[in-house]
Amino acid sequence: MAKRRRTRKAGGGSPVRRIAAFLLLVLLSALIFLAPTLLRRPVPVPDAEAEARVTAVLPEGLDHTRRSFVLTACSLVGRVGYFWGGKSDALGWDSRWGAPAVVTAEGGSDTGAILPFGLDCSGYISWTAVNAAEHTDALNVIGSGVRDQWAKCRPVTASEARSGDLAFFPDLSHVGIVAGREADGTLLVLHCSRTLGGVVLSPDAEAIGFTLFGDPDYYLLYGDTMPYLQR
């Protein structure tokens, strides 16, 4: 008796295999799309090189207040860690930094945890403003929180941004300080990063995600000699 030959329907393969193949195709497509961005994402400047790198990009004739703002910010690179909700108006080094503290700010994955105290991104900006001006009143002028700091800036383009301006993520989830412009035209930025563990100096601000830039009102009150209309 002749054996029956099994025939496979066109488009064969179990539904599970077809779904798995489709998901694999989607994953590969996503990796191909994201690869250029992931590969060009710059790593921070080594802490020991930060001061020299920043000094090299500060333009001659830069207003004293802007220079002080950037160099004050640079003084914390590699020294202060990230802490969700971390704020300080201390003049000089805050003795709480590095000591265990409870994360009391709401809305973060670390809320309730005990971690070494430090600064968050907007707290870093506030501390810098207070110490560059050498007065705690500067805290109200620079703003508290990323959105408030953006609101107290005049927006400028990336090509207009200069040392001492603030740099923001487009969703206002992160803020940093423009240290200066490198020879290739990209911007160096100082920021207190959660993912990078604390205060760092990063090259190519736009590649990291900083696409909004602002000239803080702070400089109108603390010595910037270049009014808006002269920019």
Question: What span, in angstroms and rounded, lies between the C-alpha atoms of 49 and 88?
Answer: 26
C-alpha torsion sign, points 145, 80, 82, 168: positive
Alpha helical stretches, state H, 58-96: 64-74
CB contact at 8 A, 50 and 202: no
CB contact at 8 A, 212 and 205: no
DSSP 136-156: TTHHHHH-SSHHHHHHTEEEE
**What's the pLDDT score for residue 39?**
45
Rg (CA), the chain: 24
Question: What span, in angstroms and rounded, lies between the C-alpha atoms of 177 and 56?
Answer: 16
Tell me which residues of the chain have a pLDDT lower than 70.
Answer: 1-13, 15-16, 18, 20-23, 26-41, 224-231
Angle at 113 between CA 111 and CA 117, to 5 degrees: 95
Q: State the Cα torsion 75-77-78-82 to the nearest 10°.
A: 110
List the chain domain ranges.
44-230
Segments of the chain assigned E as strands: 100-102, 114-116, 153-156, 166-168, 175-181, 187-193, 198-202, 212-216
**What's the pLDDT score for residue 37?**
43
**What's the pLDDT score for residue 73?**
98
Q: What CATH number has the domain spanning 44-230?
A: 3.90.1720.10
C-alpha torsion sign, points 86, 90, 93, 98: negative
Question: What span, in angstroms and rounded, lies between the C-alpha atoms of 140 and 131?
Answer: 13
Which tens digit of pLDDT belongs to each residue from 94-132? 999 999 999 999 999 999 999 999 999 999 999 999 999
